[in-house]
Structure 1
């Protein structure tokens, strides 16, 4: 069996370690932070992400932590009109085979980390920052910023949107700055007015902004995420934002979303970034995964799901000898690029749904409100309904 080095100890990297190790390979996961952990707040997992977790044997553990959401609710953020809801209960779960859940990112990461620590084939090493890679006909080497070299039969880069391995492999420069700043906070559910404790992922759409909220941590907290198309030109991440600034930034929204935003404390802000889809993210015995391969805006709520899908596809393909690894990486790249590129493009296009004003917003509301439950489920079926993730998808 082979020795595989994975760069990045986030959700994608740990899921891949589990998927690869179950075929008997030895796996070393390198993480730049001294300790393995995860920051951030809530994430959404559609049935396709839950199917991937099921393939890893972790679905039940995640379900025990997650909130099963009843609907995706779209609201006009100015008028307060309930435009449309996509039900996520009986017919949705029958059709797609799993619930739509929300979970705290750290909780999902902990489930994956515990499983990796319990696996005899996986080693975890913190404080190891990758600068690039080298390879020859029989091995691949991660070059660390200290100059140390870590060699295996192959290397998988799961080191995020600013991937050092991608910089070497693809060479497409810095990520694209979207011009949108997102503000995030988590509040105790007990502080939320009872009439607003909806078991839903709720969007309030306004002119050049929108606000999303949903329960996490078994319903103990409400995750708040408000996006402003403010023309930001410089990327930053996790910068504190004052309550006054957030209030002023979203003052245009109606009374109910402002009531919820007013409850937020300890706001942090990020400028959203992504990259253009690329056809090739594999080079010999080195390949990329998740945000290192196909980073996307979070507006389709599929970033974690795509990483989990990548992991199980790659794991299945690596049921092979060390000599076959490079060829299997090519197969993985080929079967994943169409589907992931389509989600990348949809994530960008979604901004047109959230941020119009005036007549365009009215037209949007009319269009959405005319859609039946079946129409809504049909629209997302290609994405949420996937159970086999290794079938090429022609980009739409």
Structure 2
């Protein structure tokens, strides 16, 4: 039985993660009546820390959420890359200077805090939030699109935004593909900072130790009260096709021979859960009729560029801006939203940028995990980089992901460097 009664929403968003909530918020801000479905009984996020670069914090600023996010997170001073074997510094980014260059800060925040930020904002704007609803099917209708849930319910609206993640059901409307197993696995821990105070850690920086077939990340969370660690390594079991791969015994073996800083951090990792790392090959088509993919449903990346959640937030912002733009172009006598135009414009902007993120993340993973002579060559190359060389960050941290080159004036409100840095 349908939940639609003739006075239903303009848009359905399927998925209540960061991507779905941020998309619902963006559309609601653009005047769209939104209903969001989440399969879990309650809203929440698992995991630990998350990095959000200036290409995301500029959107939080646009939404009026940056001040709250800053209070919940940490704006570190530097991003430092070190060799995991001897802990020698290889290169760094001055994040204060990065802030000045792009106009917005680089921030680290607990995933659940960012999720909660968007959830509260959606509630304030009247987004209808429905839990315990697992979507199992999508189809186009004469006037929009319909979704079907596992319990037999259906709902429909003028458009459906599928933010249903790595294993997206909606993606099957567009491509018959499978997830790509990187054979790498991540362990995490978000712990009280007191537990690492005697470890001589850099509490004001994001530090990445890159090693042969592994890397280790450390940074502060929640105003410095918590400390986040991520240990990533290639699983020999995965390479052999074993089902039970990424287990704690592999974690310990992967980091044998690494520096003291990593050895002090490893015992603090959560060992009752781990995250196997998958992505998908890029696709150029995200829209099927009135069903559009968003976030990991469209472009799940490996984590090396810390852009997964950021890209999802960008997706929602861009889609909402095209809703605004086409509304402004319509006559005063014409009501409603021309979703075909809005979705076509969204699809024209986002896929190429996200393809580049996915493929670059794979390349960065290979670069970080080199061994032997290639590791030494990489280290020499990174040491030769000037701290203030932004050749490799402008394309990702600038606003280029938000508009195609042929439409430079479409988004005038938050151009590069338009807002003074926040002290």
Q: Could you state the TM-score of these two structures normalised by the residue count of structure 2? A: 0.87
Q: How far apart in 2 are the matches of 1:315 and 1:78?
A: 46
2:111 match: 105
| Shift in alpha-carbon separation, 1:293–1:128, aligned structure 2, 3 A | same
Q: How far apart in 2 are the matches of 1:152 and 1:67?
A: 39
1:334 match: 348
8 Å CA contact 1:235, 1:271 repeated in 2: no
8 Å CA contact 1:153, 1:322 repeated in 2: no
8 Å CA contact 2:217, 2:229 repeated in 1: yes
2:397 match: 384
2:373 match: 359
1:27 match: 34
1:349 match: 363
Deviation of the 1:392 alpha carbon: 5.2
8 Å CA contact 2:189, 2:268 repeated in 1: no
| Match for residue 256 of structure 1 among 248, 257, 261 | 261
1:84 match: 91
Q: Does 1:188 align with 2:195?
A: no
Q: How far apart in 2 are the matches of 1:313 and 1:236?
A: 40
1:124 match: 129
8 Å CA contact 2:94, 2:388 repeated in 1: no
Map of 1:1-396 to 2, 5 A cutoff? 3-89=10-96, 91-120=97-126, 122-167=127-172, 169-194=173-198, 195-231=200-236, 232=238, 242=248, 246-319=251-324, 320=327, 322=336, 324-375=338-389, 377-386=390-399, 389-391=402-404
Q: How far apart in 1 are the matches of 2:305 and 2:242?
A: 21
Deviation of the 1:81 alpha carbon: 1.0
Judge which range, 228-237 or 381-390, deviates more. 228-237
8 Å CA contact 2:82, 2:209 repeated in 1: yes
Q: How far apart in 2 are the matches of 1:349 and 1:158?
A: 26
8 Å CA contact 1:224, 1:264 repeated in 2: yes
| Shift in alpha-carbon separation, 1:392–1:148, aligned structure 2, 3 A | farther
Judge which range, 106-115 or 80-89, deviates more. 80-89
Q: How far apart in 2 are the matches of 1:183 and 1:198?
A: 20
8 Å CA contact 1:240, 1:267 repeated in 2: no
Q: What are the superposed Cα offsets for residues 178-206 of structure 1, whole Å, 9 maximum, x if unpaired? A: 11111112221111134213311111111
Give 3-state SS (helix, strand or coil) of 2:67's partner.
helix
Q: How far apart in 2 are the matches of 1:235 and 1:222?
A: 33
Deviation of the 1:268 alpha carbon: 2.3
Give 3-state SS (helix, strand or coil) of 1:69's partner.
coil
8 Å CA contact 2:48, 2:111 repeated in 1: yes
Structure 2 spans left out of the alignment, 5+ residues: 1-7, 328-334, 407-423
8 Å CA contact 1:12, 1:307 repeated in 2: yes
| Shift in alpha-carbon separation, 1:312–1:80, aligned structure 2, 3 A | same
Give 3-state SS (helix, strand or coil) of 1:308's partner.
helix
Q: How far apart in 2 are the matches of 1:219 and 1:240?
A: 30
8 Å CA contact 1:335, 1:392 repeated in 2: no
| Shift in alpha-carbon separation, 1:240–1:39, aligned structure 2, 3 A | farther
Q: How far apart in 1 are the matches of 2:42 and 2:243?
A: 22
Structure 1 spans left out of the alignment, 5+ residues: none
Q: Could you state the TM-score of these two structures normalised by the residue count of structure 1? A: 0.92
2:3 match: none
Q: What are the superposed Cα offsets for residues 207-246 of structure 1, whole Å, 9 maximum, x if unpaired? A: 1111111111221111111111125267999x9954x653
Q: How far apart in 1 are the matches of 2:270 and 2:165?
A: 28
Q: How far apart in 2 are the matches of 1:235 and 1:146?
A: 35
8 Å CA contact 1:236, 1:270 repeated in 2: no
